[in-house]
Amino acid sequence: MYNMLLVSADAGFTTLSLKFIPHFESAINVIPVKSTRKAMEAMETEAVDVILLDHSEGTDIRDMIKLMDRAGRLEPLVLVSKEIDKDTLGIAINAGVTGYVDRGAADPMDYFREICHHSVIASERSRSKADRAVNEKRLEALIEVAKMSSHDLSDIINYSLETAVRLTRSEAGFVASYDRDRRMLRMLAWSKGAMKRCDMTNYPVEFQLDTTGVWGDPIRNGKPVIINDYEGDRRLLKKGTPEGHMRLKRLLLIPIFSSEGAIMGTAGVGNKADEYTSSDERQLSLFMGEVFATFAKRESMLKATAPAQVVRELTDVGPIGLAFITTDMDLAFTNRMGLKILGIEEGTELPVKIDDVMNHHVQVVTDLVNRLRSHGGMTVKGALAARIGGRERNYSLAVYSTQGKEGMHPGFTVIMDDITDLKSLDRSTSAMKEHVSILEGPVLDSLLDARPALVVGAASQGPDASGAVARLNETINFMSDYKNVGMMQPIWIDLEDAIRSARNTTLSADVKVGIRTNGIKVLADPAFPSVFRQLFSNSVTHGDYVTEISIRCSIQDGGLTIIYEDNGSGIDPEIKPRIFDLVYDGRFGMFLIYNIVSVSGFTVKCADRPRGAAFEISVPASKYSLG
């Protein structure tokens, strides 16, 4: 479920939003407010995933940006407007507005569909970033738990419980073990927040599972329990809480499983400011499961000579790389994924001097550590790319200084998080911003340039009018095709089907088209068929009586090349270097081709031929299929 804060002073638009947004995306819950001030007040009490702001008098995007900056709010913002000037739109884009939708369109169905698309992407991207931040905190805490292998069990439990409360932004929490033979729960710890808010005079230690209340449900049912209205939940009518117990508003309870799948205990947190979500449940389950795994391995931990083996055992199965570097620049430990990312041979005996395993990736991490050592601070971040499993992956690097932190070993914790998918989402966002700048820049200029010719031509009924109309039609067609490029997931497209469809809508019957694609399909942007429409249009417009066009495929060294040729007059060599520019010869078609091909992960070039125009589109091996 996504909570959308709708900020609009237009009652009509608000009514339409409440009707159409749930129609196109039932997972969006719309919370309407009438001003930017009311929006800021709502964000204090409501969990907001995305803000949709209708830019108009009373709900100015510039005011909203200022208010959010002043309050330190980071919620993604989607802008919608009937009319907005270039300067204001530029301010919004530079401030990081996630999407812009022009609601001047005649059909609300069109722009509300686009609003939902931008809002879901923005919400998922924001949640992904928030999850990554919590992941980093959880993994950093896990490393500390692993380093506490020689501490008393009570110290580990208390540290872990306080961390769980912080991770879920709760007020209080507890953790209990479960004796399956006796069907008995034993309380291991209450958090400091629980003890502070509780007035009970007698704290029971053991509870019989069969008679205990809702907090025993995770063990009885083997599933988490989320209660976001404690007083109104029907499951609690016959249960209640002991006298003096802290007042509960919300509650999250989880079972804790062993590696064999047996229930080892339960943990709970309560009274988060907003509602508990599946993300909270996942983070709490992962962290407490890892902590209980530490308990189960305590005996082997005590025998270990360093915490490296402990951390490896706990984290080797995950996709995130972890490492710890001492103040003497020794690599004290790293998990298996950390070794792969850093390019260090598996089996390297640790600890080891950083200089003894130095390579490009290790140098990147070392530079970040040295930056912390030289300039102070607690955190520094960076990035690197590594080839894992035959595929190029992108990783964010976060280096945390533990020096001066009570109860923590002095040194530097390194977390290497895979952000390959997030970078793809960022590229989609960047593409959207580029679309806005192009559609409101050169394309708008083209429309304005054509307007005088239409006025003059209309009076004379001369060629100026028909030429201007043709130019306007071409510009409008470009806007229709271009606005969605890069906005949707790639799909498999049959080349022959795409070419035949383009031929039927673009060429006359006297132009012969030879197709030799042999059933090949390509994984491309859904707009890819427009490439062939634009190529056909370019041939008949600039080729001087083109009568034959050939499209064939060639496979060499694993890659696919789509070869397009016509029998026209060819392309002036002086034009070739700039043929894919935004406005070539007053037109946009070749620019559209270049963008569709690029966003699909392909390349395109204007090839050399003795006669006629020729283009070659190169497709990597992972992006095509032989039928």
Distances (CA, A) of 135 to 131, 187, 336, 350: 6, 27, 18, 25
Contact 200, 244 (CB under 8 A): yes
Q: What is the mean pLDDT of residues 184-195?
A: 85
Q: Which residue has the higher pLDDT, 617 or 505?
A: 617
Phi, psi of 324 (to 5 degrees): -135, 130
User: What local confidence, expressed as pLDDT, does residue 300 receive?
Assistant: 43
Residues in the chain: 627
CATH of the domain at 594: 3.30.565.10
Which pair of tokens denotes residue 496? 């022959």
Tell me the three state secondary structure of residue 419.
Answer: coil
Question: Does residue 305 have a pLDDT over 80?
Answer: no
Tell me the three state secondary structure of residue 350.
Answer: coil
Task: Kindly state whether residue 331 falls inside one of the protein's structural domains.
Answer: yes
CATH of the domain at 178: 3.30.450.40
Residues 227 and 102 in one domain: no
User: What local confidence, expressed as pLDDT, does residue 236 receive?
Assistant: 53
Q: What percent of the chain has pLDDT over 70?
A: 78
What are the tens digits of pLDDT across the range 437-463?
444 444 444 544 444 444 444 334 444
Q: Which residue has the higher pLDDT, 187 or 298?
A: 187
What band does 407 get if pLDDT is binned at 50, 70 and 90? low
Q: What is the mean pLDDT of residues 339-365?
A: 90
Please say which residue of 424, 446, 475 terminates a domain.
424
Distances (CA, A) of 272 to 129, 161, 169, 228, 377: 20, 15, 6, 9, 30
Residues 352 and 247 in one domain: no
Phi, psi of 36 (to 5 degrees): -65, -35
What band does 169 get if pLDDT is binned at 50, 70 and 90? confident
User: What local confidence, expressed as pLDDT, does residue 332 receive?
Assistant: 85
| DSSP notation for 396-438 | EEEEEE-TT-TTS-SEEEEEEEE-HHHHHHHHHHHHHHHHHHH
Query: What is the C-alpha to C-alpha distance for residues 188 and 200, in angstroms, rounded to an integer?
Result: 17
How many domains does the chain divide into?
4
**Residue that is written with structure tokens 């010719």 in the block:** 453
Task: Kindly state whether residue 56 falls inside one of the protein's structural domains.
Answer: yes
Query: What is the C-alpha to C-alpha distance for residues 618 and 558, in angstroms, rounded to an integer?
Result: 11
Question: Does residue 595 have a pLDDT over 70?
Answer: yes
Question: Does residue 62 have a pLDDT over 80?
Answer: yes
**Residue that is written with structure tokens 């005649």 in the block:** 106
Phi, psi of 403 (to 5 degrees): -70, 130
Query: What is the C-alpha to C-alpha distance for residues 342 and 358, in angstroms, rounded to an integer?
Result: 9
User: What local confidence, expressed as pLDDT, does residue 108 receive?
Assistant: 82
Residues 276 and 309 in one domain: no
Query: What is the C-alpha to C-alpha distance for residues 129 and 116, in angstroms, rounded to an integer?
Result: 20
Cis ω before 351 (30° cut-off from 0)? yes
Query: What is the C-alpha to C-alpha distance for residues 190 and 6, in angstroms, rounded to an integer?
Result: 40
Task: Kindly state whether residue 298 falls inside one of the protein's structural domains.
Answer: yes
Which pair of tokens denotes residue 571? 């392309």
Residues 553 and 574 in one domain: yes
Task: Kindly state whether residue 412 falls inside one of the protein's structural domains.
Answer: yes
What are the tens digits of pLDDT across the range 468-522?
444 444 544 555 455 567 667 788 999 999 999 989 888 888 899 999 998 899 9
Q: How would you classify the pairing of strands 548-556 and 2-7? A: unpaired
Phi, psi of 373 (to 5 degrees): -65, -35
Task: Kindly state whether residue 450 falls inside one of the protein's structural domains.
Answer: no
Residues 507 and 616 in one domain: yes
Task: Kindly state whether residue 279 falls inside one of the protein's structural domains.
Answer: yes
Tell me the three state secondary structure of residue 434.
Answer: helix
User: What local confidence, expressed as pLDDT, does residue 424 receive?
Assistant: 54
Q: What is the mean pLDDT of residues 529-546?
A: 87
User: What local confidence, expressed as pLDDT, does residue 571 receive?
Assistant: 87
Query: What is the C-alpha to C-alpha distance for residues 292 and 223, in angstroms, rounded to an integer?
Result: 17
Phi, psi of 381 (to 5 degrees): -125, 155
Q: What is the mean pLDDT of residues 563-577?
A: 88
CATH of the domain at 416: 3.30.450.20
Contact 576, 606 (CB under 8 A): yes
Please state, as a whole number, how many other Cβ atoms lie within 10 Å of the Cβ of residue 463.
10
Q: What percent of the chain has pLDDT over 90?
A: 24
Task: Kindly state whether residue 478 falls inside one of the protein's structural domains.
Answer: no
Q: Which residue has the higher pLDDT, 625 or 580?
A: 625
Highest mean pLDDT among 47-56, 205-214, 242-251: 47-56
Contact 141, 283 (CB under 8 A): no
User: What local confidence, expressed as pLDDT, does residue 584 receive?
Assistant: 47
User: What local confidence, expressed as pLDDT, does residue 451 receive?
Assistant: 43
Question: Does residue 105 have a pLDDT over 70?
Answer: no
Amino acid at 270: G
| Domain region containing 9 | 2-125
Q: What is the mean pLDDT of residues 15-20?
A: 92
Residues 318 and 246 in one domain: no
Query: What is the C-alpha to C-alpha distance for residues 191 and 269, in angstroms, rounded to an integer?
Result: 9
User: What local confidence, expressed as pLDDT, does residue 466 receive?
Assistant: 47
Residues 289 and 320 in one domain: no
What band does 5 get if pLDDT is binned at 50, 70 and 90? very high
Residues 311 and 249 in one domain: no
What band does 200 get if pLDDT is binned at 50, 70 and 90? low
Question: Does residue 55 have a pLDDT over 80?
Answer: yes
Question: Does residue 235 have a pLDDT over 70?
Answer: no
What are the tens digits of pLDDT across the range 380-390?
888 888 888 77
Which of 140-144, 182-186, 509-513, 556-560 has the lowest average pLDDT? 140-144
- Comparing CA positions, the residue from 222, 120, 140, 99 lying closest to residue 484 is 99
What are the tens digits of pLDDT across the range 246-296?
778 889 999 998 877 889 899 999 988 878 888 788 888 888 888 887 666
Task: Kindly state whether residue 435 falls inside one of the protein's structural domains.
Answer: no
What band does 38 get if pLDDT is binned at 50, 70 and 90? very high
Residues 86 and 206 in one domain: no
Residues 95 and 212 in one domain: no
With both helix axes pointing from N to C terminus, report the angle between 108-147 and 420-439 in degrees, rounded to the nearest 10. 150
Residues 114 and 221 in one domain: no
Which of 299-303, 308-312, 513-517, 607-611 has the lowest average pLDDT? 299-303
Residues 177 and 294 in one domain: yes
CATH of the domain at 68: 3.40.50.2300
Please state, as a whole number, how many other Cβ atoms lie within 10 Å of the Cβ of residue 510.
6
User: What local confidence, expressed as pLDDT, does residue 44 receive?
Assistant: 86
What are the tens digits of pLDDT across the range 307-320?
445 555 555 555 78
